[in-house]
Amino acid sequence: MGRINRQKGATLVEAALVFPILILLIVATLELGLLFKDYLTLSYISREGARVGALAGNNAEADCAILRGIGSVANGDDLARLSSVQIFKADQDGNQGLTNQATYVPGNDPEICNVPSTAADGWTITTAWPPITRQTVIGSQDLDIIGVRVTLDRNWVTGFPPFRGPMVLDESTISRLEPRAFEND
């Protein structure tokens, strides 16, 4: 009878040792999975912005088209966590040059965008690289390269060590502006 009780006690001790490791593995899988989901979302948002920007070229509404494109692919929670969207002129190596800064206004419609910004807009924009100055005509100059950099504020879900505190995810995409075959008169 004493031997059976000792085996039950050994099983209980083994379970007490393994259980915290099992919980840590489950929490780590959850946290890292959600982090990867946020990274993929941010990457998609950045690529969509650069794609729209490359097509919009030097249209006066190009930056608003980029922001509307971002608003169409991001859900409300992701938009609220975006700390900034930067639309920039990039060099051949992808280095950031002149930069336009945009910030989402939580609660406003991400489809509403004006330059200069109004109170009803979903985005506030500061412009250092006006869209109409972008080189889209093949000729004496190379076509401009547009970049879209998006940063997202993220908090860990569980707060379980070592997954605690805020972090910022940052993703950039660059694309050459689509050439115009001819200039409008």
Q: What is the average pLDDT value for the chain, to the nearest integer? A: 90
Confidence of residue 33 (pLDDT cuts 50, 70, 90): very high
Q: How confident is the model at residue 181 (pLDDT cuts 50, 70, 90)?
A: low
Position with higher pLDDT, 169 vs 137: 169
Strand blocks (E) in the chain: 82-90, 96-104, 123-126, 145-155, 166-176
DSSP, res 143: P
> pLDDT (tens digit, 9 = 90+) per residue, 63-122?
999 999 999 999 989 999 999 999 999 998 889 999 999 999 998 899 999 888 888 899
CB 149 within 8 A of CB 90: no
Assign 36 a pLDDT band (cuts: 50, 70, 90).
very high
* Average pLDDT rounded to a whole number, residues 138-156: 90
Question: Average pLDDT of 133-150?
Answer: 89
Query: Could you give the 3-state DSSP secondary structure of residue 86?
Result: strand
- Predicted structure pTM score: 0.85
Contact 150, 81 (CB under 8 A): no
Residue 127 burial (10 A CB sphere; 0-12, 13-18, 19+): middle
Residue 169 has pLDDT above 90, yes or no: yes
**114/181: higher pLDDT:** 114
